[in-house]
């Protein structure tokens, strides 16, 4: 709340500037004082319900826009209507604008026109801005992605569904893209690329496949409404020249526009994205998203959302930029956008009302969509106070809600998140185990040390990459998200193919099936990496297709003018094609690796020792000759295991087993919980292999 005196001063300044034709905020920008403006604006705060809602038979609309001089509500019966209704909105002393329309206007399309004093003095029009609190959104498919909000009536029967609540250390996450999981014909989906297609029963792909794999949680790449299109290729607009994206698309979804609305891109109301059409007008994406969550829950699988609260689409028109640039965005003293996200416009999450919006968005997805957790994109760009309040408020609703993040954005700081109770992606684990790039920075599975890693680093990764130990990052082991592949960069399969020289970075590949088929050496490397991942403490994450060494090859006959077509892709964010689609025939080609992953997932789920044992339950045994090989005894309850690894690609090594009768559960060929054989007293590990033995 702000004081009455401050209100009088601001109103007086606005009146003066209106009379003189000079906008207060423009004037201060010219004086390079944007930060001063933001400090003033931060004194505005309201607890009023925002967005559109129906109460007592009438429809209300509220928007927080403290810098605005005038705001109009614009409503449409249909999105392409040429005759909208326009209503003046009134402003309270806290910066909230409001309008009321008689009747329960469910299904009405609307937006806001937000005018500054300068807009008014110059007599210029402004674009329609979408409601940041909209629960359903229709989007027009141009690179500017203009949108209209929909007055939405929530009618849904959850049939008793609730959250899947798990200890974080028990999570086995499958990172996936809704559309990619069923777009390939091999999925056999009748509703490919959609929320409903993902959960379709009796097909080969989607939920049916995920369920058989055995993971217990899915992490959805962004599924909030987002900017689907980018600038026309080889065209210059608004001082931007698109020479990097011939597809003119944003397929992954990291350009969120509306923090309360599911993406219409995955609804069943359309099949192929076309330009200059309205998407999401029937709002069916809302209930279809709920259908998806409910189906996953029914099968014991939790749902985590990948969310982007650090920036908006750079090219989009009609969002928070048009509502109040100075309030919602981080600016330098010249009033220019700061871009640590490299997306042109970083959100000012420390602004009190934006902090409120983010927190309410998180709680809304928990309460209204039964979402079990969140992965925050570029989490370091969100201020600590907001992050602390998010997890505090969310745990009041669901104490087991999952919060993990990508701890980048002005530095890499997983420790800062761990100290606040958050999980974070463990890049040190990833780089230490496989390497940072496949050309000249290989890791442990290739019998090399990446950067300053050594055997003590690898041993600490087993225990959860704990602080106060070599390469340590985390206060608690269950804060470490252990992974070897994500949507970004090369897949693990392609990383290994490039590292061993079977493929080259610029090689044109026409027979993808032949490339996908693993050589014996590649299969060994995959198994060793997977064994290390699934027997290490922390949250375990794999990416879609990792279990069959998925390859991301840009189709050689792609019609888009992509100079890299035919080559292995390491940044497929813009491709709605076979580069990203999950080809289930490739899972058949590498069935041995898929079965190995299934066995390791079952092993981890069956024996809590691999999920919950603390560092004091582990006794490491380093090999005297091979400095990168090691083993360890693991005690948990009545279970005792011996786990050992040999990354040497040419030499067989031996470990002595402690006394007792031991059974082999995992070797270089198979993995699972059914004993493969009785172990010898001296365990022999072939080159690039590992073993898990259990005391009988």
What is the residue extent of each domain of the chain? 4-150, 168-302+353-606, 614-695
Q: Which one, of 59, 286, 57, lies nearest residue 151 by Cα? A: 59
> Do 76 and 84 meet the contact criterion of CB atoms below 8 Å apart?
yes
| Cα distance between residue 323 and residue 66, in whole Å | 9
Instruction: Decide: pTM greater than 0.75.
Output: yes
Q: What pLDDT was estimated at residue 270?
A: 85
Which SS3 state, helix, strand or coil, does residue 70 take? strand
Q: What pLDDT was estimated at residue 634?
A: 98
How far is CA 238 from each of CA 157, 233, 316, 378, 527, rounded to the nearest angstrom? 46, 14, 12, 26, 50
Phi, psi of 247 (to 5 degrees): -80, -20
Q: What pLDDT was estimated at residue 239?
A: 66
Q: What pLDDT was estimated at residue 35?
A: 86
| Cα distance between residue 126 and residue 72, in whole Å | 10
How far is CA 43 from each of CA 117, 241, 274, 583, rounded to the nearest angstrom? 20, 39, 44, 53
How far is CA 380 from each of CA 177, 341, 412, 595, rounded to the nearest angstrom? 23, 10, 8, 37
Alpha helices in 299-411 (DSSP H): 320-328, 352-369, 384-397
Residue 76 has a CB neighbour count (10 Å cut-off) of: 18
Residue owning tokens 């027009």 = 140
DSSP, residue by residue, 25-56: HHHHHHTT-HHHHHHHHTT----S--EEEEET
* CATH 2.60.40.1250 is the classification of domain 614-695: no
Q: Which one, of 180, 236, 169, 173, lies nearest residue 206 by Cα? A: 180
Q: What is the mean pLDDT of each run of 10 residues along the chain (696 residues)?
A: 35 38 42 80 97 98 98 97 96 98 98 96 96 98 95 97 98 98 98 98 97 98 96 78 93 96 95 90 98 98 98 91 96 91 94 98 98 98 98 98 96 97 98 97 98 97 97 98 98 98 96 98 98 98 98 96 97 97 98 98 98 97 95 97 98 96 98 97 97 97
Q: Which one, of 350, 359, 129, 378, lies nearest residue 257 by Cα? A: 129
DSSP, residue by residue, 651-679: --EEEEPPSS-EEEEE-SS-BSSS--EEP
Q: What element of type H or E holds 117?
A: helix 117-122
Q: What pLDDT was estimated at residue 8?
A: 33
Residue owning tokens 């995992």 = 666
Let me know if the fold of 4-150 is the same as that of 614-695. yes
Give all strands (DSSP E) within 234-356, no chain letters: 236-237, 240-241, 278-279, 302-307
Q: Which one, of 53, 45, 46, 136, lies nearest residue 99 by Cα? A: 53
Q: What pLDDT was estimated at residue 333?
A: 85
> Do 105 and 85 meet the contact criterion of CB atoms below 8 Å apart?
no
CATH class of 168-302+353-606: alpha beta
How far is CA 298 from each of CA 159, 160, 192, 364, rounded to the nearest angstrom? 10, 10, 21, 21
User: How far apart are the two ends of the chain, measured CA to CA in Å?
Assistant: 67
CATH class of 4-150: mainly beta
Geometric angle at alpha carbon 330, from 42 and 239, rounded to 5°: 140
Geometric angle at alpha carbon 234, from 233 and 236, rounded to 5°: 100
| Cα distance between residue 623 and residue 683, in whole Å | 12
User: CB under 8 Å, gap of 24 or more: what pairs does 411-419 form?
Assistant: 411/380, 412/380, 413/380, 414/473, 414/474, 414/479, 414/480, 415/467, 415/473, 415/474, 415/475, 416/380, 416/384, 417/379, 417/387, 417/479, 418/467, 418/473, 418/474, 418/475, 418/476, 418/479, 419/475
| Cα distance between residue 309 and residue 355, in whole Å | 10
């Amino acid at each position: 709340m702000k004081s009455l005196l401050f209100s009088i001063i601001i109103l007086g300044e606005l009146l003066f500037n209106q009379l003189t034709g000079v906008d207060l905020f423009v004037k201060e920008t010219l004086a390079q004082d944007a930060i001063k403006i933001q400090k003033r604006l931060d004194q505005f705060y309201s607890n009023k319900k925002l967005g559109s809602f129906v109460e007592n038979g009438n429809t209300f609309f509220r928007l927080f826009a403290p810098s605005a001089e005038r705001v109009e509500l614009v409503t449409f019966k249909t999105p392409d209507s040429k005759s909208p209704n326009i209503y003046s909105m009134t402003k309270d002393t806290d910066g909230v604008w409001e309008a009321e329309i008689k009747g329960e206007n469910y299904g009405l399309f609307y937006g806001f026109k937000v005018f500054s004093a300068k807009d008014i003095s110059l007599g210029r029009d402004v674009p329609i801005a979408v409601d940041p609190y909209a629960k359903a959104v229709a989007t027009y498919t141009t690179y500017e992605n203009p949108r209209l909000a929909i007055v939405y009536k929530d009618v849904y029967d959850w049939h008793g569904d609730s959250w899947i609540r798990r200890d974080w250390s028990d999570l086995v996450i499958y990172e996936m893209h809704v559309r990619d999981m069923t777009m390939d014909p091999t999925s056999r989906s009748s509703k490919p690329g959609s929320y409903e297609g993902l959960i379709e029963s009796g097909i080969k792909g989607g939920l049916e496949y995920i369920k058989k794999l055995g993971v217990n949680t899915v992490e959805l790449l962004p599924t909030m409404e987002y900017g689907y299109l980018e600038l026309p290729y080889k065209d210059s607009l608004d001082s931007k020249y698109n020479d990097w994206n011939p597809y003119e698309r944003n397929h992954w979804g990291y350009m969120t526009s509306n923090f309360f609305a599911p993406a219409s891109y995955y609804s069943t109301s359309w099949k192929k994205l076309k330009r200059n059409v309205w998407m999401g007008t029937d709002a069916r994406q809302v209930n279809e998203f709920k259908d998806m969550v409910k189906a996953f829950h029914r099968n014991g699988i939790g749902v985590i959302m990948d969310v982007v609260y650090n920036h908006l689409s750079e090219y989009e028109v009609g969002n928070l930029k048009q509502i109040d640039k100075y309030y919602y965005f981080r600016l330098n003293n010249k009033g220019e956008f700061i871009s640590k996200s490299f997306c042109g416009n970083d959100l000012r999450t420390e602004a009190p009302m934006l902090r409120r919006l983010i927190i309410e968005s998180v709680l809304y997805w928990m309460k209204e969509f039964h979402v079990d957790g969140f992965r925050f994109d570029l989490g370091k760009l969100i201020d600590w106070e907001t992050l602390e309040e998010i997890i505090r408020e969310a745990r009041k609703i669901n104490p087991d809600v999952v919060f993990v993040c990508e701890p980048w954005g002005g530095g890499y700081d997983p420790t800062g998140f761990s100290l606040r109770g958050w999980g974070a992606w463990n890049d040190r684990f990833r780089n230490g185990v496989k390497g940072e790039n496949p050309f000249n920075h290989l890791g442990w599975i290739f019998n090399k040390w990446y950067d300053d890693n050594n055997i003590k680093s690898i041993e600490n990764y087993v225990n959860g990459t704990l602080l106060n130990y070599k390469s340590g990052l985390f206060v608690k082991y269950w804060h470490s998200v252990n992974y070897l592949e994500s949507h970004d960069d090369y897949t693990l399969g392609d990383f290994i193919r490039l590292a061993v020289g079977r493929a080259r970075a610029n090689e044109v590949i026409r027979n993808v099936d032949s490339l996908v088929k693993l050589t014996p050496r590649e299969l060994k490397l995959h198994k060793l990496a997977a064994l290390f991942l699934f027997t290490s403490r922390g949250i375990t994450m794999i990416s879609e297709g990792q279990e069959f060494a998925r390859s991301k090859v840009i189709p050689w006959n792609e019609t888009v003018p992509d100079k890299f077509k035919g080559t292995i892709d390491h940044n497929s964010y813009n491709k709605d094609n076979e580069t990203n689609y999950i080809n289930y025939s490739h899972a058949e080609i590498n069935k041995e690796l898929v079965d190995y992953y299934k066995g390791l997932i079952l092993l981890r789920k069956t024996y809590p020792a691999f999920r919950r044992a603390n560092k004091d339950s582990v006794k490491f045994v380093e090999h005297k000759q091979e400095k990168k090989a090691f083993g360890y005894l693991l005690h948990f309850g009545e279970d005792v295991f011996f786990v050992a690894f040999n990354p040497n690609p040419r030499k067989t090594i031996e470990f002595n087993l402690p006394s007792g009768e031991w059974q082999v559960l995992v070797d270089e060929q198979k993995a699972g919980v059914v004993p493969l054989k009785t172990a010898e007293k001296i365990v022999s590990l072939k080159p690039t292999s590992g073993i898990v033995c259990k005391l009988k």
